[in-house]
Amino acid sequence: MTISPQVATSILPAAVRILEANWNGSYTLPAAGLYPHQWSWDSAFIAMGLRHISPRRAGQELDSLLAGQWADGRIPQIIFDVHRDQDYSPGASFWRSELLDASPDDVLTAGLVQPPNHAWAVWKIHQADPVESGRRRFLQRAYPRLVAWHEYLLTRRDRGGRGLASIVHPWESGTDNSPLWDEALQAVPAESRHTIVRPDLLHADATERPSHRDYGRYFWLAERYRDHDCDDADADYPFLMEDPAFNTLLAVSELALEKIAAELGLDGARHAKAAEAIAGALEELFDEQVGCYVARNVCTGRLASKATINGLLPLLIPNVRRRAELIQTATGVRFLGGASLLVPSYDATATDMDPQLYWRGPAWFNMNWMMVTAFAQAGETGRATELASAALRLALDNDFPEYVNPWTGTPHGTRKFSWTAALALDLEVDAVHGLL
């Protein structure tokens, strides 16, 4: 991969400065102002970059996340810093996890989860320094916890009974206000009992964040889930979605568990089988009309027939059956073919695509990093290189923004965003080692 010498020499110090500034002693804040706690899938992405600076610290990042795991196996969406409860909503005082037996005693957490990219991260951290990892018994400690996490998702969360995990809230997808959830959210009342405060709007423009109406529904769902003790047994719960991105990460993480098991001298065959079963079940979510995978509403059985970045991510699964169609869609007018610098989060041809509104159009660095990996894996090295170069340049030129306009590169959301810095660092290291 060719990256300009100026970018190559500037990414490392600039990214390290951000990761240092956002490190709070045992984990990395996604962004100091907007996101003042530990977020689940952020930590895994951040650790994938941190491993290049300090494999030990990358391990600590995951250790502190796993300390928040519940007895039922779930890894929570957020582990709260109680000193900053007023800085983010909903916080620890909303979730009241201390009242539930299944939650840990010593940390307060949200009841929801986020996409399962953790085993993938754990394996990468181990590979960065197997000696250090071995000394800390990192894999030995993480493996049973990760197995319990996946078991939770494939049992309690298989609400559709088809071998895919369901999300119970848009926040669980990580792509909060993606158009994939619009139709299903119509069944959710827009008024919550909780008074909604929006500390997020102190740090990002209201035109770039989910609306107050979206928040009404988010809080209504969160209250309903919390008030049912977060037990996943609420028969009439109105929002259950099978997300192709969430389930892709579960399959990719099962493949990582296979490798971790082998490293520990255990039989990893069941993990390979689980990955294959998830990939097989995902096939039912392929939508010929839009040329990618879509989400299924478990409550109604309907498919949300929209082309989003979530639906391209199954390209990360080795031997995915629809590889050719996915590459065609990703490089066609709906995504990169529309003269985009980076892959947008939503169909560039959709009339409601908004290039600056959160997960309804802008390009995100974690998603583009996964697309670089997917293209490289599929043998599309030219694409991978081009995308990685654009991501590195846009990250560096714009102070590592949360997301950008995919056509112009204009930055949006918060800046000095940890996963942007960490994943840019990872891309640069791969580039330097000729891995792209």
Q: How far is the CB of 200 from ligand 2M8 (least distance, A)?
A: 6
Tokens of 349: 């041809």
Q: How far is the CB of 174 from ligand 2M8 (least distance, A)?
A: 3
Which residue in the set 23, 27, 41, 286 belongs to the binding site for ligand 2M8 (CB under 6 A)?
Answer: 41
Residue 39 sits in the site that holds ligand 2M8 (CB under 6 A): yes
Q: How far is the CB of 197 from ligand 2M8 (least distance, A)?
A: 12
**CB-count exposure of residue 324 (10 Å: 0-12, 13-18, 19+):** exposed
Which residue in the set 63, 85, 158, 176 belongs to the binding site for ligand 2M8 (CB under 6 A)?
Answer: 176
State which residue, 200 or 347, has the beta carbon closest to ligand 2M8.
200
Nearest to 222, CA basis, from 184, 241, 183, 194 = 194
Residue 171 sits in the site that holds ligand 2M8 (CB under 6 A): yes
State which residue, 138 or 358, has the beta carbon closest to ligand 2M8.
358
Given the rule CB under 6 A, which of 170-178, 226-234, 248-256, 326-334 is the region that contacts ligand 2M8? 170-178
Helix (H) or strand (E) holding 287: strand 286-287
Q: How far is the CB of 340 from ligand 2M8 (least distance, A)?
A: 20
State which residue, 42 or 232, has the beta carbon closest to ligand 2M8.
42
Q: What's phi and psi for 236, nearest 5 deg?
A: -100, 20
User: What amino acid occupies position 375?
Assistant: F
Given the rule CB under 6 A, which of 8-16, 34-42, 126-134, 291-299 is the region that contacts ligand 2M8? 34-42
Which residue in the set 68, 116, 174, 238 belongs to the binding site for ligand 2M8 (CB under 6 A)?
Answer: 174
Residues 60-119 that bind ligand 2M8 (CB under 6 A): 77
Please give the residue whose beta carbon sits closest to ligand 2M8 in the complex.
Answer: 174
Nearest to 112, CA basis, from 235, 225, 264 = 225
- CB count in 10 Å sphere of residue 13: 8
Given the rule CB under 6 A, which of 35-43, 125-133, 278-286, 290-298 is the region that contacts ligand 2M8? 35-43
Tokens of 184: 């299903």
- Choosing from 214, 258, 402, 430, the catalytic residue is 402
Nearest to 323, CA basis, from 358, 282, 263, 355 = 282
Query: What does the per-residue mask of binding to ligand 2M8 show for 185-204, with x meaning CB under 6 A?
Result: ---------------x----
Helix (H, G, I), strand (E, B) or coil at 97: helix
Q: What's phi and psi for 356, nearest 5 deg?
A: -125, 5
The rounded distance, in Å, linking the Cα atoms of 317 and 160 is: 22
Q: How far is the CB of 386 from ligand 2M8 (least distance, A)?
A: 25
Does residue 434 contact residue 381 with C-beta atoms inside 8 Å? no
* CA dihedral of 214, 216, 217, 218, whole degrees rounded to 10: 80
Residue 229: left (phi > 0), alpha (psi -120 to 50), or beta?
Answer: left
Residue 35 sits in the site that holds ligand 2M8 (CB under 6 A): yes
Does residue 241 contact residue 166 with C-beta atoms inside 8 Å? yes
Helix (H, G, I), strand (E, B) or coil at 193: coil
State which residue, 35 or 219, has the beta carbon closest to ligand 2M8.
35
Residue 276 sits in the site that holds ligand 2M8 (CB under 6 A): no
Q: Is 402 a catalytic residue?
A: yes
Q: First vs last Cα of the chain: how many Å apart?
A: 6
Q: Is 176 a catalytic residue?
A: yes
Residue 42 sits in the site that holds ligand 2M8 (CB under 6 A): yes
- Choosing from 176, 229, 276, 284, the catalytic residue is 176
Residue 30 sits in the site that holds ligand 2M8 (CB under 6 A): yes
The rounded distance, in Å, linking the Cα atoms of 115 and 138 is: 21
State which residue, 77 or 389, has the beta carbon closest to ligand 2M8.
77
Tokens of 186: 């119509």
User: Total binding residues for ligand 2M8 by CB under 6 A?
Assistant: 10
Helix (H, G, I), strand (E, B) or coil at 269: helix
Chain positions contacting ligand 2M8, by CB under 6 A: 30, 35, 39, 41-42, 77, 171, 174, 176, 200
Residues labelled catalytic: 176, 402
